């Protein structure tokens, strides 16, 4: 340290250290805000997932290497202030910790998967909550989201020495919610809808039974009185009365 021109100057390493402490975490801040994919894309928002645009070309920094991992931080909107970047891979929160911590990390990647030169004929998106097969206790599991939100996300870069850089938090994202079934507008309760459905099923069963009975009756009638075709013989029953006798045979004496 020294005096020069009446100003107090700090050595460069100490100045850098104080700058990092003033920033709070010491991470490099990337001025990128994660964005939802185009609203015209089907399935951008569902009841348990949402789709983001890939952060292409956002991690071409000198202090970020191709071996560093890029995580997506998913958090409840009211838990972003409590987020603390994990210092080790073992400390990375999983989806099972979501209800307790309010955030978890998923969709592990590296910057080679997010190049800046995107071909115009390819669609590059990230679907959050799209893996129903992984265990929520598994690190990096992209488990379906538990509720409608709201949620906020950001990207975090980590090396084997700890966190390196992070983006800005996204705006709030709310998922779709299931709507109650209502047949017609009006003050109809759920019990009314159930009764209408049961009566409809019973009516269909009754109609089917009547149709089967009609078919059986017609079939039985036609079988008892068959109609012969041109090449078929018809069996006729012969009846003899008591007062009519057969005519005498020709040539009888």
- Domain span at 98: 24-167
- Give the start-end residues of each E strand in the chain: 2-4, 7-9, 28-30, 50-53, 69-76, 103-109, 125-128, 151-159, 162-167
In a domain, 159, yes or no: yes
pLDDT exceeds cutoff 50 at 97:
yes
User: How far is residue 211 from each of residues 150, 191, 206, 219, 222, measured CA to CA in Å?
Assistant: 54, 30, 9, 12, 17
Average pLDDT over residues 4-22: 44
Number of structural domains in the chain: 1
In a domain, 152, yes or no: yes
CB 181 within 8 A of CB 196: no
In a domain, 44, yes or no: yes
- pLDDT the model gives residue 234: 46
Distance CA 214, CA 98 (A): 62
For residue 130, give the nearest of 55, 58, 74, 209 by alpha carbon. 74
Check residues 1 and 99 and name the one with the higher pLDDT.
99
Q: Give the pLDDT band of residue 73 (cuts 50, 70, 90).
A: very high
Beta-bridge partner residues of 44? none
Check residues 240 and 22 and name the one with the higher pLDDT.
240
In a domain, 239, yes or no: no
For residue 96, give the nearest of 129, 133, 136 by alpha carbon. 136
In a domain, 144, yes or no: yes
Q: What is the mean pLDDT of the chain?
A: 77
pLDDT exceeds cutoff 60 at 162:
yes
In a domain, 83, yes or no: yes
Average pLDDT over residues 127-135: 91
Q: Give the pLDDT band of residue 194 (cuts 50, 70, 90).
A: confident
Average pLDDT over residues 191-199: 85
**pLDDT tens digits, 132-141:** 899 999 999 9
Average pLDDT over residues 24-37: 82
In a domain, 66, yes or no: yes
- pLDDT the model gives residue 69: 92
- Rounded to two decimals, the pTM is 0.60
In a domain, 105, yes or no: yes
Average pLDDT over residues 88-94: 91
- pLDDT the model gives residue 187: 59
- pLDDT the model gives residue 167: 94
- pLDDT the model gives residue 117: 73
Q: Give the pLDDT band of residue 96 (cuts 50, 70, 90).
A: very high
**pLDDT tens digits, 204-227:** 998 898 888 888 887 766 665 544
């Amino acid at each position: 340290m020294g005096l020069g021109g009446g100003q107090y100057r700090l050595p460069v390493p100490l100045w850098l250290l104080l700058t990092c402490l003033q920033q709070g975490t010491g991470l490099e801040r990337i001025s990128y805000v994660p964005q939802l994919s185009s609203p015209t894309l089907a399935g951008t928002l569902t009841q348990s997932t949402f789709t983001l645009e890939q952060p292409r070309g956002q991690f071409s920094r000198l202090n970020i290497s191709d071996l560093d991992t890029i995580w997506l931080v998913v958090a409840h909107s009211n838990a972003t202030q409590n987020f603390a970047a994990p210092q080790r891979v073992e400390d990375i929160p999983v989806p099972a910790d979501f209800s307790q911590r309010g955030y978890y990390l998923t969709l592990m990647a590296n910057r080679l998967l997010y190049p800046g030169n995107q071909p115009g004929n390819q669609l590059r998106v990230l679907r959050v909550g799209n893996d129903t097969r992984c265990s929520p206790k598994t690190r990096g599991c992209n488990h379906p989201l538990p509720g409608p939100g709201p949620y906020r996300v950001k990207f975090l870069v980590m090396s084997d020495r700890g966190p390196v850089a992070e983006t800005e938090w996204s705006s709030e994202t709310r998922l779709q919610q299931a709507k109650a079934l209502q047949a017609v507008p009006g003050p109809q309760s759920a019990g009314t809808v159930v009764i209408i459905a049961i009566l409809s099923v019973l009516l269909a069963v009754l109609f089917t039974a009547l149709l089967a009975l009609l078919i059986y009756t017609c079939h039985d009638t036609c079988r008892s009185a068959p109609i012969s075709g041109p090449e078929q013989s018809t069996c006729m029953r012969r009846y003899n009365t008591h007062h009519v006798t057969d005519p005498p045979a020709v040539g009888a004496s």
